């Protein structure tokens, strides 16, 4: 069994909780409150900026030019392409107006800080395992969301977002990231630490959906 297949199997309960989360189920059937979707997008813009930094750090530490090129292109996609999509959705007029500048929620700050710190200070293989769930969990969830959105029809309010993450290019990127993580494990990466990193990031994926649904904020905002 490859490292990624094993890691995927070990996190089955976490991924089932993602699928059952009210944010994901309501996003799929189109009943998610527009204000909640705005809150999620605002947090995801902040998350993607941190994720791009983590991917850039991996690119700098990659063992070969091909791996470095993939992580660098992925950092560009997260930092520019996906953020541009979110900005378009936030400015489309279909969502409630912003109530003020968005700051990172506790979960957003915790997740991005974890990824950046791991990519910067842990062995390369561990950092690669930590960034993988964002690719893979989103691609996996998007497949099912696309089916739910198709059942609703063209009036589905979040169809554009769903289509972006069910795009074949995104699925190809997720597959390429899995291959790089498997290669890192096969090259002697610390497998136990890699599993911990993968599971921790998958747990953060679940928390990100759940806290977006709850409009998480700090107990004593600045």
- Which range is least confidently modeled, 90-99, 125-134, 174-183? 90-99
Confidence check: pLDDT of 36 > 90: yes
pLDDT > 70 fraction of the chain, expressed in percent and rounded: 98
Residue 153: pLDDT band with limits 50, 70, 90: confident
In this predicted model, what pLDDT tens digit does every residue of 189-216 receive, in sequence order? 999 999 999 999 999 999 999 999 999 9
Task: State residue 82's pLDDT score.
Answer: 66
Q: Tell me which DSSP letter residue 21 carries.
A: S
CATH number, domain of 30, equals: 1.20.910.10
Task: State residue 98's pLDDT score.
Answer: 77
The answer as to whether 102 is a domain residue is: yes
Q: Tell me which DSSP letter residue 100 carries.
A: S
Q: How far apart are CA 179 and CA 192, in angstroms?
A: 18
The answer as to whether 219 is a domain residue is: no
Q: What is the mean pLDDT of residues 36-60?
A: 95
Confidence check: pLDDT of 97 > 90: no
The answer as to whether 218 is a domain residue is: no
The answer as to whether 221 is a domain residue is: no
Other Cβ atoms closer than 10 A to 79: 18
The answer as to whether 101 is a domain residue is: yes
The answer as to whether 35 is a domain residue is: yes
Q: Tell me which DSSP letter residue 204 carries.
A: H
Q: What is the mean pLDDT of residues 24-31?
A: 93
The answer as to whether 32 is a domain residue is: yes
Confidence check: pLDDT of 91 > 80: no
Domain span at residue 91 reads: 3-213
Q: How far apart are CA 191 and CA 207, in angstroms?
A: 24
Domain count, the chain: 1
pTM of the model: 0.93
Average pLDDT, the chain: 92
Confidence check: pLDDT of 53 > 70: yes
The answer as to whether 220 is a domain residue is: no
Are residues 18 and 144 in contact, defined by beta-carbon separation less than 8 angstroms?
A: no
Confidence check: pLDDT of 86 > 80: no
């Amino acid at each position: 069994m490859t490292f990624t297949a094993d890691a995927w199997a070990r996190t089955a309960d976490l991924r089932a909780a993602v699928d059952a989360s009210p944010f994901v189920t309501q996003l799929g059937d189109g009943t998610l409150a527009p204000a909640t979707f705005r809150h999620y997008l605002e947090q995801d813009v902040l998350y993607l900026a941190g994720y791009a930094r983590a991917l850039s750090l991996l690119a700098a530490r990659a063992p070969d030019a091909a791996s470095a090129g993939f992580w660098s292109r992925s950092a560009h996609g997260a930092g520019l392409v996906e953020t541009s999509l979110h900005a378009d959705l936030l400015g489309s007029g279909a969502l409630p107006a912003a109530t003020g500048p968005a700051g990172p929620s506790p979960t957003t700050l915790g997740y991005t800080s974890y990824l950046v710190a791991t990519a910067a200070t842990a062995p390369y293989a561990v950092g690669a395992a930590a960034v993988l769930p964002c690719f893979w969990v989103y691609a996996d969830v998007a497949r099912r969301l696309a089916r739910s959105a198709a059942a609703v029809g063209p009036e589905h309010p979040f169809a554009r977002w769903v289509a972006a993450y069910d795009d074949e290019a995104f699925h190809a990127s997720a597959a390429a990231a899995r291959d790089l993580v498997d290669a890192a494990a096969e090259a002697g990466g610390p497998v136990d630490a890699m599993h911990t990193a993968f599971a921790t990031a998958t747990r953060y994926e679940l928390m990100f959906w759940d806290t977006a649904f709850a409009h998480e904020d700090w107990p004593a905002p600045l």
